[in-house]
Chain A
Amino acid sequence: MTKTTTKSPFSLSRRQVLAAGAATALTMPFYARRGFAADTINVGVIQPLSGANAQFGINSRNGIQLVADEINAAGGIQSMGGAKINLIISDATSNPTQAATVAQRMMSQDGVCAVLGAFASSLTLAISEVTERRGVPLLTMSFSDQVTGRGFRNIFQVVSKASQLGSATITHTLDLARKAGDEITKIAIMYEDTAYGTSQAGGLRAAAEANGIEVVMDEAYPLGITDVSPLINQLRRTQAQAVFPVSYLNDSLLIIRNMRQQGINLPTIGGAAGYIIPDFRNGLGELADDVLSISPAAYDQAPEFTERFRERFGYFMVHEAQEHAACMGVLASALEKAGNADPRQLREVIAAETFDEGWATVMSGGKIKFDETGLNIHAVPMMVQWRGDELVTVAPAEYAKAEAVWHRL
């Protein structure tokens, strides 16, 4: 007979043994390495496929999938004997700790040669801490200034930094207004207090100051704000001549509708994200017409590529899909040039070469070359404007596909 009760704190019995057994059984899968055939190249794709950013994560995955499928259909990577790209896709959720774990898993278990991701800059930054220490290249379209600001060697950002986007927003707006005969001297900035909103607003602020423009309203608001009336009330009392909201979708709809409710018709220049996805138009209908926005890339710049996305997925190639496709394009070219999938050699090729073939050309600027911080020096922020269900590039002049519509102040 075993003693059933004991006062001892470390009372251990079959239950703990069972527990330990169960725990061991549960952890078993982590020891099992997944084998991979020699003729495939594993590429890690980490995106937020659930949670608040799920839509953007799914768009990004679609973009990467399209490119990988095209490459494989065309015979894979030639220099590696037609090796096929095998995407290892995983959900970063909205948790940076999870994102880093996923990256670690891909490098250890799947032997990925590079990682693509992860839309939200908080996820990308967390992943980069892991890939940097392992020497695996990380290609991203996250545009927070921190991404390339830490002196990391293995991170490559195909889009302009948030501060560059912010400053381009101001200069293009001033140009468009001037062309129409308006001189803007006072602006309003409102942004959600996320990494993306804060860093882009910083760029707007700096550019306004550099151009001698007065920022008459500069207001951060909490993510998921339920009522924008206080913001718009405040806007109504300022003398702002243009308003620059930086937000995801729900806030962007709220802001535009509330402005209409209050009879405010100021030119609105959005800060990418919520302002340049099909749901913006779906939600606002014709109120969306003529709304301007900055965009790190525009699908009308490379229709011969981006229309293939529309054919397959049924909506225009949103910018995050396009930029992630460019990341995949760069990686494919680098694999082709390196002739093997060793992460360290790939890193050297990515850092050294100029990429001007295939999907790498869909980025604004038409080609990609990274500077020593890993930033794409050819990236040019685009100003786009809603025309019906489509976005059209209206600035800079050499890339414009149509004249901007500017309602005189």
Chain B
Amino acid sequence: MTRAETLSIALPALVVLALIIAPLGLDPYGYTLRILCLMLLFCAMGQAWNIVGGLANQISLGHAAYFGIGAYSSTILFGSFGLSPLIGVFVGMALAALFALVLSLPTLRLKGHYFALATLAAGEVARVVANSWTSLTGGPVGISVPYRPDAGFWALQFQTVLPNYYLFLGAMVLVSLVFWRVQTSAFGYRLRAIKENETAAEVIGVNTYRVKLHASLLSAVLTAMLGTLYAQFQFFFDPDTIFGVATISVKMALIVILGGAGRLYGPWIGAAVIIPLEEMANSYLGNSIAGLSQFAYGVLLIVVILLNPRGLISLFESLRDRLKRRQRA
């Protein structure tokens, strides 16, 4: 193994190891742990989105639909039938796959902006349905995961946040491994061929429709799984939150794009930057003039994208290249 290859395995392993031991010194109920949880969750969500959005450049702005389906499925099954979220999660994943399948019929042949807008509308369809199908979802008042602290692991709820943290960490590693497998497989090359030039990909014999469909299904299923984990962490949600355009769909995409689309570490970096950034804006400025913290967040987004439109990863890369050139000179 070359030094670079050793490093390339050692470093992510170190990061994961650090993440494993990180919470041990922290207050198990605490705020820092919650922020770490959200970072891991949104990293995993971004990674799931990355499979279609990053590799195939299919900019979906409706992933909240899958997330919400996952959250609602497990919560309704647990609330109404006492079915463990450990089983409910699979129901949610199956339903999300079904939704992705139905949605693929009209949307998968669309390109660029059209695909983005069609998926945006699809997410809104899910939100409207959840809001009006009151008998199933509880409607706009939202739904609570029944509080059963005694039921333990079967109910997938815990007194402290620590077990949630490890669930999120596991999910993040899992989704990242899936992404890596896809990225390095023939499937991944086909996806990237679509990203580079869809027509050319078809000419050389790639069944672009099928490849995109498979990627969508995979992405949808993983997103639904994360939806269940979110529900078991937050315990209460309503249609506007779980199917939110800004809070879920756009944020998933944003994390990937800010970090670096189509790159394994894109969502890692994106989540590690966005979530604390948002939180800091809120923490330091939320106490002052109304609107200042959200304003600062918006300005920071603009600045980051203006600094480097290809994501932070490439910002680091270009910095590195510049350093190297200077060394050689």
Contacts and interface: CB of A to CB of B under 8 A. Distances in A.
Task: Indicate if A touches B (C-beta under 8 A).
Answer: yes
A54 B295 CA distance: 14
A150 B144 contact: yes
B140 A198 contact: yes
B135 interface: no
Contacts of B240: 122
Given A9-B184, A50-B294, A122-B241, A16 B31 contact: no
Given A3-B3, A10-B11, A197 B140 contact: yes
B31 A109 contact: yes
B276 A16 contact: no
A366 interface: no
A101 B11 contact: no
Interface in B223-264: 234-238, 240-241, 244, 247, 264
A57 B286 CA distance: 12
A96 B234 contact: yes
Interface in A268-292: none
B35 A102 contact: no
Interface in A1-45: 2-4, 6, 8-20, 22-23, 26-27, 29-31
Given A19-B269, A26-B277, A199-B141, A104 B236 contact: no
A12 B8 contact: yes
Interface residues of A, number: 70
Q: How large is the interface on B (under 10, 10 to 19, 20 to 34, 35 or more residues)?
A: 35 or more
A397 interface: no
A47 to B, nearest CB: 9
Interface stretch (B44-52, B100-108, B126-134, B167-175): B126-134
A97 B272 contact: no
A109 B282 CA distance: 14
Question: Could you say which of A8, A88, A91 has the most chain B C-beta atoms within 10 Å of its C-beta?
Answer: A91
Nearest to A95: B247
Contacts of A121: 141-142
Interface string B29-66: 11110110010000000000000000000000000000
A11 B8 contact: yes
A12 B272 contact: no
B238 A20 contact: no
Nearest to B12: A10
Interface string A193-231: 111011100000000000000000000101000000000
Nearest to A10: B8
B186 interface: no
A58 B8 contact: no
Nearest to A88: B287
Interface string A115-129: 000000110011011
Interface in B124-174: 128, 131-132, 134, 139-142, 144, 147, 159
The 6 closest A-B pairs by CB, nearest first: A15-B316, A10-B8, A108-B31, A23-B272, A49-B290, A91-B286
15 contacts: A6-B5, A9-B264, A19-B313, A51-B294, A96-B236, A97-B38, A98-B282, A101-B31, A101-B34, A101-B35, A122-B236, A125-B144, A126-B237, A146-B144, A222-B128
